[in-house]
Structure 1
Amino acid sequence: MEPSTNIALISSGEPEEPEENITYMDALLYKAAAEGIIEEFNNHPELQLESLKTPNHDNLLHVNLATQESAVDIVYSLFILFPEGYVLFHQYLSIFISMIKREKRSDFFEQILSKCPSLLLQTNAKGQTPLHVAARFGHSAIVKLLIKSCAKARDGDLEKLGMDQVNAVREMLRITDQESNTALHEAAGCGNVEVVKALLEFEDPDFPYSANKKQETPLYIAARRRGSGRLLTLLLDKFKSTGHGGPHGRTALHAAAMAGDAEAIRVILKKKGNLTKERDEDGHTPLHYAAHFGRSRRISVVKELLKWDVSAAYIGDKKRAMTPLLMAARQGYLVTVSKILSLCRDCCEKVDNKGLSLLHYLAFRVSSSPIGRSLFKYGGSEIVNGSFRNLRKLEDAFGMTPQEVYNALRSEKHHHKQKQIKELLEEIENDQVAEEPVCSFPIRNVSAESLEKEREAHLIVAALIATVAFAAAITVPGGLQSEKGSEQGTPLLIHEAVFKAFVVTNALAFILSVSALTIHFGVLDNLLSQFKFFRRTVLYRTRSVSGILGYATLAMVTAFSTGSYVVLKPSHGLAFASYLICPAFLLCIWGIVNPSIHM
């Protein structure tokens, strides 16, 4: 057996180049290390274990730790044998198998380290010790075992260590890799509480864990993870002065706000309440982050931050002097806007450096929604806040009030203002907060030409669907009764449930497509759309027809699927494949129109 080989590559016939040492591990030994088979190494006492390395300089312990603990193969085999009972006990079975594997891994580590203790502090090409890898993958039992091995504690008694042993453990804990990560950095990223507990047990409370090369401290890394409250509590309780910094001037509170974790916010603020006004390089506070990322699930984060320090709502950023309220309105997060206003009602008086107020940003976002009509079209009857009401006549840098912005976005007669607004919104859309861009503004050009083109497309689609549906109704699947009698001329498959579904969906497709044709011809869109005062009504009808044709298309696809199934029923495989066309079509359409998939 060839355990491990170093190959020196020297170019021949050319000027000498530095030698390149390539290390690799024998396939059988690699497999034994990955699976924790100690017998393979016991059978070859002549092996120099410290020299067994992969090309990345991973030793036996690195290889074993990087191998996933998985019971998938065994569980899948049992599922094949006992499918009925699988759901009831598979979870317990997985836990049981994982416990066996962990015990086997611990035994493998103990025996390997007894043979070659130097593997404990051996680093790979990235400068990572086995402790780094164990912490990254959340192997708490192995982390404890490595600490015990480093301390050379007998019988696992870690409570009676001398200072020399404790110092040896601390030296191992503080080893950094090429990215300046310690094992604690890796454990914070993993989020395993037991691993962090084990790493902190012998650490000095006064030791300052510095940031890695990405400027991330362990506390910041932990705060990025949603559900890290217990982890943050451990770190904050252990150290007297915990580093909380992150990249670009962010703090752990910024990270928790980005993660949308209200519990983490509470934990951090109890120990570091002064972080609410800390700004990143762009002047953004944690409340800015919560507002920008502020979909409904982050409302609790906004509430926690304001409950601790309401003055953060009045702080503007460096680039645009945007307050958190303006950021939430810019994103269109109306629930977040409402929550901020409910806790500090006069913060809406703050405007950005272009004079844009809360109502300006709401006008950008809600110009075509019922909320927009309640705020602007009907005179803002729902506005009862005095500070809010005063914004209605506040002009921006272009001399436009929120009402004028709203009117310009809804009518083409304000062409010059529309152009100014669109240029402004294009500029705003280029902004980012923590690499997260501003949501695009759904502003649409409405002209007679665009309405006419859309109308023509609707007419073609509606005519095609109506033609296909009419033809399918006349030539029904399965044919008609030809024998003379009371049922002559009726469909042969009239009593089949799937055939009835075909008839209903086909009729629905025909009626919807004819309705679309009637709407367009009935209101003479091509004539009336030339008049600007009527264009908004035409636009509404055009959008209605778009929805009707969408339902007509779905009905047509369903009719095709059921019609194919009923005539192919004798061939079960072919019939079933045909029947799946409809749900497959629906899934494809959903995938195309759902924006979260593209994000």
Structure 2
Amino acid sequence: MSVSVEQQRTRSLPLSLVIDCWAPPHTESVPDFLTNLRLSDLYNLPGVSVPMNPKIFSAMRAGNIYLLENMKTSVTPMTCLKNDKGDSVLHLAAALGHDELVERIISECPSLLLEQNWKDQIPIHAAAYAGHLDVVKTLVASIAYFSGKILSEEERERFNVYVLKDIDGDTPLHAALKGGHLETALCLVKANHLASFLQNNAGISPLYMAVEAGGLALVKEMLNSLSRNVQGQESNLASRFEGRKSLVHAALKAKNTDILNVILHEDPSLGDEKDEEGRTCLSVGAFVGFREGVCNLLDRSTSSVFECNGDGSFPIHMAVEKGHMDVLVEMIIRCPDLIELLNKQGQNILHIAAKSGGYGHLTIIELMKRLYRENNHLIEEQDEDGNTPLHLATINWRPRMVRDLTKYPSNATRLLKIQNKDGLRALDIAELNLQSNYIFRERMTLMVLLSAYKPKGYDRIPPSGMTLRSRSELADPNKYKDRVNALLVVATLIATITFAAGITLPGGLNSSGKAILATESKYDMFVGFMLFDIIAMVSSIIAIIALLWAQMGDPELVHKAFRLALPSLSMALTSMTLAFQCGVMLTTSGNRFILYFIGMIQIPFFFVFVLVLVPYVGQEYGRQFGRSMDMCLWILLALVTEDDAETYHNSGSCQTRGL
């Protein structure tokens, strides 16, 4: 841990500290380790730095106070020693929390209190960032002791280390808050309050950081010190601290009502500030879903609900975008006309909900049904591109939202016919942009639209969406190849298994070639096994033949082959399962425990089996969805995941052509 000679550099007392007023020194008793020090000792700084050898470095890290005696007699002064980061022995002791060692070093070399490392940090920076409260108190007491001995106002200003900034613009108070040490930060604020309002290079003040961290006691102390400082003057918090003024935004993001009240009580004008993204306080509260904070702001004034953000949206749009229904309701109760607001794209809250998707947004439809029992004009409104909420739900592949919009009373028929500026209905958009690769969410969206439109040419609508075709699939039949091959493998395996089970019967054959278990008492179970095994084999063979036809290359033939293969494969899987259960019960009929166990698991197994398989391969023969198919649709929609919407759309997988 040493540095080269070229890295040695001159160290000097910080000269660029600016302060408005100086805090009086502490009146507490002077610690013993400071009683014999003189003010001149503080300025006894070395001219050069010398690399710290590994032995001394290890001793400082271990808090070894006995090595200090040896260092006194060393040729190299203790104040000159630096590691490869420019840290002095006091930096190391302070950063590692060795309070006794810190006291010993200060009593021997008080000038190290002002010594900077190569990041322009003094020891109190290091102690504050590490959160060593006892060490910080020791350093504060030392600084207060020397401050009391300084007579010159100019020297006092130079000695205010609490406002000293490192290369990142951080004061010791910044360092404590970056480390998340609120008690340490409180100690520094009590020592000197002015640093609370100074910004670092990122434009952030300690006050802003304290609000973000949710430190109520710390925020109160910062603001109380400001109030004491401006007695008799008009207090305006926003004009007295640097950097970001959006303290209310930070309190809302932290979801801390107490801090929010303290800030607004100190300076109500901060409730009108916008953050760096141009968002109002109410918009931030709506965005994070902080209902108590939003109610707090609304109780003070409702005028901000009509204040636009930098992106042209309003607070109600932010609440809808994130699906915070409780916040949305609070806004509508106070200002019912809010639901009519449009963003700069001409979109209302239903447009926003349709784009955002997710379970939370579906309750907005229910809310609209309560507000507009007869006719909801919002559902038919078109934005600047001519898109209705249904268009946007389709563009963003939101099958649940599409289902709820198409089932909306009194508006559904007209909604389905509306065209955007490109002359496209919602169904047209889905058919144009459906990918040839099987994307479950896309197929479900198109299937829901087909169930609503019921267009000609779709007499059979498969709930799985397996055979729904995009324009690219019509031009390229090879897109089905992988799907056909996968189903063909499954069908072949079923045929092989059921064939082998039919030849090698459970229990084997007797000398006359008859099945041993085909006795009178077990005859019904044996017949059941054979029946289900034969059905499974025949169904799988039908599926194999249909899938072989699908490999011929004709797109229309592929489409029809799927319609035959999927139900056949479903029948084969069901029959194979029943045949297995009959075979197990046939061979273990003497064991009641196994029979009871099979009976117990049979019902929930078939429930799950039907729940998963039937909706996937079932078909509706006719133009209308019956109740059974509605149930299948409901099950499949429950399997759709829309939480990854942002990643999904950023990938460019569903860019709408012509929109």
- Tell me if both proteins adopt one fold, taking TM over 0.5 as the criterion: yes
Report what 2:299 is aligned to.
270
User: In the aligned structure 1, how far is the partner of 2:214 from the partner of 2:204?
Assistant: 15
| Match in the other structure for 2:165 | 123
Residues 335, 41 of structure 1: CA spacing in aligned structure 2 closer, same or farther, 3 A cutoff? same
**Per-residue CA distance 1:192-249 (angstroms, 9 max, x = gap):** 2222222222334832426999865222233233x33332222122223215211232
Aligned pairs for 1:29-68 (under 5 A) are: 29-44=90-105, 45-47=107-109, 48-67=111-130
3-state DSSP class of the match of 1:133? helix
Query: In structure 2, what is the equivalent of residue 335 of structure 1?
Result: 362
Matching residue within 363, 382, 389 for 1:358: 389
Does the 8 A contact of 1:341 with 1:348 survive in 2?
Answer: no
Other structure's SS at 2:176 match = helix
Instruction: Answer yes or no: is the 8 Å Cα contact 1:236–1:271 preserved in 2.
Output: no
Structure 2 equivalent of residue 257 of structure 1: 286
- 1:234 equivalent to 2:262? Answer yes
CA offset digits 1:80-102 (Å, max 9, x no partner) = xxxxxxxxxxxxxxxxxxxxx65
Residue of structure 2 in register with 1:590 after alignment: none
Could you tell me how far 1:545 is from its partner in structure 2? 8.1
Distance in 1 (CA, whole Å) between partners of 2:239 and 2:544 is 68
Shift of residue 326, structure 1, vs aligned partner = 0.2
For residues 164-179 of structure 1, the aligned pairs below 5 Å read 169=193, 171-179=194-202
Identity of aligned residues (%): 19
Q: Which amino acid aligns with 2:265?
A: D
Q: Once the 2 structures are TM-superposed, how far is the Cα of residue 394 of structure 1 from its aligned partner?
A: 2.9
Q: Whole-Å Cα distance in 2 between the matches of residues 534 and 212 of structure 1?
A: 71
1:300 and 2:326 matched: yes
Output the CA distance in 1 between the equivalents of 2:305 and 2:568: 47
Alignment of 1:93-132 (within 5 A): 102=133, 104-105=134-135, 107-115=137-145, 118-132=160-174
Partners of 1:293 and 1:136 in 2: CA distance: 29
* Whole-Å separation in 1 of the counterparts to 2:120 and 2:140: 21
Name the structure 1 match of 2:351: 326
Partner letter of residue 341 of structure 2?
A: I
CA shift for structure 1 position 528: 10
Residue of structure 2 aligned with 1:284, choices 313, 317, 331: 313
Q: Measure, in 1, the Cα distance between the counterparts of 2:364 and 2:567.
A: 29
Q: Note if 1:395 corresponds to 2:419.
A: yes
Q: Is the 8 A contact 1:463 1:517 kept in 2?
A: yes
Question: Quick one: distance in 2 between partners of 1:519 and 1:364?
Answer: 35
Asked if structure 1 preserves the Cα contact closer than 8 Å seen for 2:431 and 2:470, the reply is no
Q: Which amino acid aligns with 2:191?
A: S
- Counterpart of 1:313 in structure 2 is 339
User: What residue ranges of structure 1 are gaps of 5+ in the alignment?
Assistant: 10-19, 70-100, 151-168, 377-381, 413-417, 423-442, 474-510, 550-592
What are the Cα deviations for residues 102-133 of structure 1, in whole angstroms up to 9, with x where unaligned? 5x356434444345553323222223222233
* Secondary structure at the counterpart of residue 280 of structure 1: coil
Q: 1:181 aligns with which of 196, 201, 204?
A: 204
Closer, same or farther in 2 for the Cα pair 1:375/1:518, shift >3 Å?
farther
C-alpha change, 1:597 and 1:323, in structure 2 (3 Å) is closer
Indicate the structure (1 or 2) with the bigger Cα radius of gyration: 2
Q: CA deviation at 1:37?
A: 1.9
8 Å Cα contact 2:492/2:540 also seen in 1: no
- The CA deviation string for residues 152-208 of structure 1, in whole angstroms up to 9 with x for no partner, is xxxxxxxxxxxxxxxxx4x44332323332221121222222222222223348324
Q: What does residue range 123-142 of structure 1 map to in structure 2 within 5 Å?
A: 123-142=165-184
Q: Distance in 1 between the 2:96 and 2:357 partners? A: 53
Q: Tell me, what secondary structure is at the counterpart of 1:248?
A: coil
- Residue 331 of structure 2 aligns with an amino acid whose one-letter code is L
Structure 2 unaligned runs (5+)?
11-47, 50-81, 148-159, 228-233, 437-441, 447-467, 502-534, 574-641, 649-659
Cα 1:407–1:543 change in 2 (3 A) is farther
> Greater CA deviation, 110-119 or 237-246?
110-119
What letter matches 2:368 in structure 1?
Answer: L
| 2:200 equivalent to 1:192 | no
Which stretch of structure 1 is more off in the superposition, 403-412 or 355-364?
403-412
Q: Residue 304 of structure 2 aligns to a residue in which SS?
A: helix
Q: 1:222 aligns with which of 246, 251, 255?
A: 251
- The TM-score with structure 1 as length reference comes to 0.56
